Amino acid sequence: MNKVYLIGNLTRDPELATTNSGVSVCRFSIAVSRRFTAADGSRETDFFNVTAWRGTADNCAKFLKKGSKVAVTGSIQTRNFERQDGTKGFAVDIIADEVEFLSTKNDGGNESAGEGAPAGGFSAGGSNNSAPVADLQPVDDNLPF
């Protein structure tokens, strides 16, 4: 089974594009703090590239911005690629099935998530029959954005 659940903050504004066949695709990255602390008391942060498709992509591009807190449910996808200089590279991407917006318009870190942005707990994909994730408390609010 390939299933991932991540809660983090966008590290940059989402980028919306359209494929040649007219399908929306939105790419963004999120910073996720690890659950444990290092010996010096600091927390390490991991950064994940996220790709959302179709309606989820449109909603992410419309309502999210750098610093927005999101919960992403999806799968991990790996790929090999060749750089322009001929060296080989390896990438890990998160393909989002659902993106739940956890920031509200009134949150200090995300005062205007977009015109008409929904309050926290809005789901941008899949069914919304699960319990809201908005009640979860962040592990660390001292992120650099």
What is the structure's pLDDT at 135?
41
pTM higher than 0.85, yes or no?
Answer: no
Task: Express each pLDDT in 90-135 by its tens digit.
Answer: 999 999 999 999 987 666 444 444 444 454 455 566 543 333 444 4
CB neighbour class for 55 (10 Å; exposed up to 12, middle 13-18, buried from 19): exposed
Question: Which residues face 48 on adjacent strands?
Answer: 30
Q: Which sequence spans correspond to the domains of the chain?
A: 4-36+44-113
Domain 4-36+44-113 has CATH 1.10.3720.10: no
Residue with tokens 């991407």: 93
**Does 122 or 58 have the greater pLDDT score?**
58
What is the structure's pLDDT at 103?
85
Task: Express each pLDDT in 11-36 by its tens digit.
Answer: 999 999 999 999 999 999 999 999 88
> Alpha-carbon distance 45 to 137, whole Å?
17
